[in-house]
Chain A
Amino acid sequence: RKEVEQDPGPFNVPEGATVAFNCTYSNSASQSFFWYRQDCRKEPKLLMSVYSSGNEDGRFTAQLNRASQYISLLIRDSKLSDSATYLCVVNNGGSYIPTFGRGTSLIVHP
């Protein structure tokens, strides 16, 4: 089983839709969690950290479920500019080495 797993998609949604991605991780000792966004042929950029109590940044909401070992990203009112690949990142704390998921592709169409 891979350490971090994501549904690669693509998720194809119309503008204005709400879409959610999940990411599962295998190491129960994982301590830090992030969502990154990567545009085609560009570097990954931090979208948001994921806190235990859940957190929101505008149209984006991130949740952590330690019992089931997954994190989620919810995007409300999708924009064309949200089209990208969303990477789940898990840090095991002790090693400080991040593990990246393969990413979930989102395509928002008019």
Chain B
Amino acid sequence: GDSVTQMEGPVTLSEEAFLTINCTYTATGYPSLFWYVQYPGEGLQLLLKATKADDKGSNKGFEATYRKETTSFHLEKGSVQVSDSAVYFCALSETGGYNKLIFGAGTRLAVHP
């Protein structure tokens, strides 16, 4: 079945450092890809999405490009802030059926001043 693999955390960075969180997927068909963020004590918020190959999703300085050839959707940000500290989930939406979301394990990011 479809699956999502994320790099293990926690990822600890200093403020203004460059962030990459790796995400690869296995899927049949052409899924949509998502990054969700969960701040401490809160629910999930959609951060960005891409619906087809070579699409770039972006929001709040975060970017991710749908790479079909490498089945990847890595999350990047050029300069992280303390307020970016959260858990980040990569997910895909299955093709067909109920289009249910398949989540990766999540990557915890801690940014220090």
User: Do the two chains belong together in a single complex?
Assistant: no
